[in-house]
Chain A
Amino acid sequence: MTRVGAAIVLLAVLAAIIGPVIVPFDPADQELALRLEGPTGQHWFGLDELGRDIFARVLSGARISLLVGLVVVGVSSLVGTLLGSIAGYFGGLVDECLSRVMDILLAFPGLLLAIAMVAVLGPSLTNVILALSLIGWVGYARLVRGQVLRTRELEFVQAARALGAGTPRILARHVIPTALPAVTVQATLGMGGAILAEASLSFLGLGVQPPTPSWGTMLSYGKAHLLEAPHLTIFPGLAIAILVLGFNFLGDGLRDALDPQTQSRLKT
Chain B
Amino acid sequence: MGRFLARRLVLTIPVLLGVATLVFSLIHLIPGDPAQALGEAAPQSDVEELRRRLGLDKPLVEQYGVFLQGLVKGDLGTSLRTGEPVTDQIVERMPATFELAAAAMFVAIAFSMPLGILAAVRRGTAVDHAAMTVSLAGVSVPNFWLGPLLAIVFAVELGWLPVSGRGTWAHLVLPAISLGAALAAILARMTRATLLEELREQYVQAARARGVSRMRAILRHAFRNSLIPVVTLLGLQFGAVLTGAVITETIFAWPGIGRLLIQSIGFRDYPLVQGCILLIALTYVGVNLLTDVIYGVLDPRIRYE
Contact = CB atoms under 8 A, between A and B. Distances in A.
Is B one of A's binding partners?
Answer: yes
Interface of A: 1, 100, 103-105, 107-113, 115-117, 119-121, 192, 196, 199-200, 203-206, 216, 219-220, 222-223, 226-227, 230, 233-234, 236-238, 240-242, 244-245, 248-249, 252, 265-268
Nearest to A220: B144
B284 A241 contact: no
Contact of A107 (B15, B133, B262): B15
B19 A200 contact: no
A163 B38 CA distance: 65
A68 to B, nearest CB: 14
Contacts of B140: 192, 196, 241-242, 244-245, 248
The winner among B19, B242, B265, B285 for most chain A CB atoms within 10 A is B265
B239 A104 contact: no
The winner among B18, B156, B243 for most chain A CB atoms within 10 A is B243
20 contacts: A109-B238, A112-B243, A112-B277, A112-B280, A112-B281, A115-B277, A120-B273, A199-B144, A204-B246, A204-B250, A223-B148, A233-B148, A237-B141, A240-B142, A241-B142, A241-B145, A242-B140, A245-B136, A248-B136, A248-B140
Interface string B126-146: 000000010011011110110
Contacts of A265: 193, 197
A267 B133 CA distance: 13
B14 interface: yes
A45 B14 CA distance: 52
Interface string B14-39: 11101100110011001000000000
B65 interface: no
The winner among A110, A192, A216, A249 for most chain B CB atoms within 10 A is A110
Interface in B139-196: 139-142, 144-145, 148-149, 151-152, 156, 189, 193, 196
A24 B284 CA distance: 49
A226 B141 CA distance: 18
Contacts, number: 140
A100 B22 CA distance: 13
User: What's the interface size class on B, roughly?
Assistant: 35 or more
B200 A268 contact: yes
A233 B145 contact: yes
B76 interface: no
Interface string B196-232: 1100100000000000000000000000000000000
A242 B247 CA distance: 20
Contacts of B246: 111-112, 115, 204
B156 A109 contact: no
A139 B238 CA distance: 17
Interface in B218-269: 238-240, 242-244, 246-247, 250-251, 261-262, 265-266
Contact of B251 (A105, A120, A223): A223
A143 B189 CA distance: 21
A120 B23 CA distance: 11
Contact of A109 (B18, B23, B243): B243
Given A108-B19, A226-B151, A120 B142 contact: no
Contact of B18 (A104, A205, A238): A104
A121 B151 CA distance: 33
The 6 closest A-B pairs by CB, nearest first: A109-B239, A237-B145, A104-B18, A268-B196, A245-B140, A110-B243
A244 to B, nearest CB: 4
Contacts of A252: 136
B148 A107 contact: no
Given A203-B142, A244-B140, 20 more contacts: A108-B22, A110-B240, A112-B246, A113-B22, A115-B243, A116-B26, A196-B142, A200-B247, A219-B148, A220-B144, A222-B148, A226-B156, A227-B156, A237-B148, A238-B145, A240-B145, A265-B193, A265-B197, A266-B193, A268-B200
Contacts of B19: 104, 107-108
Contact of A204 (B197, B239, B247, B285): B247
A195 B58 CA distance: 41
